[in-house]
Amino acid sequence: MKRFNSTTGTVAGTPLSPHGLLTHTGRRSGRVYQTPLATVRHGDGFLLPLTYGTRADWYRNLAAAGGGTFDWKGRTYRVDGPELMSGREPLRAWPLRERIVLQLAGIEDFVWLHESHTP
């Protein structure tokens, strides 16, 4: 399994980290990858910023597979049904400080991952 190599990547998904750790399968290679991502709880799942847009490999892998797993706050969740969201609604889900950073960075697109309720 290829894991993102950074300080954020080593703590992502743990109880003390504000970042989650997405585990996804490569759409062409079939390899398993892990990507640390900023996140907030939203509705029945998690909201992730598309920092690099819909061309990001993690997003394309997730969309092709229809889901993956997401480690957040020390728990692992099965997630599916990635849903693209844009505009003010997803921004309102973020705390003010993060919302300002997202806006300054020009990030307008998000992925809503729904927690799967199937085994």
- Domains of the chain: residue spans and CATH: 19-115 (2.30.110.10)
Burial of residue 4, with CB atoms counted within 10 A of its CB: 0-12 exposed, 13-18 middle, 19 or more buried: middle
Taking the chain (119 residues) in runs of 10, the rounded mean pLDDT of each run is 52 90 95 95 95 92 95 96 92 94 94 86
pLDDT at position 50 is 95
Q: How much is the pLDDT for 9?
A: 55
Predicted confidence at residue 35, as pLDDT, reads 94
User: What's the pLDDT score for residue 18?
Assistant: 87
Q: Residue 11's pLDDT is what?
A: 86
User: What pLDDT score was predicted for residue 87?
Assistant: 87
**AA letter at 112:** W
- The token duo for 91 is 């921004």
> What letter represents residue 86's amino acid?
S
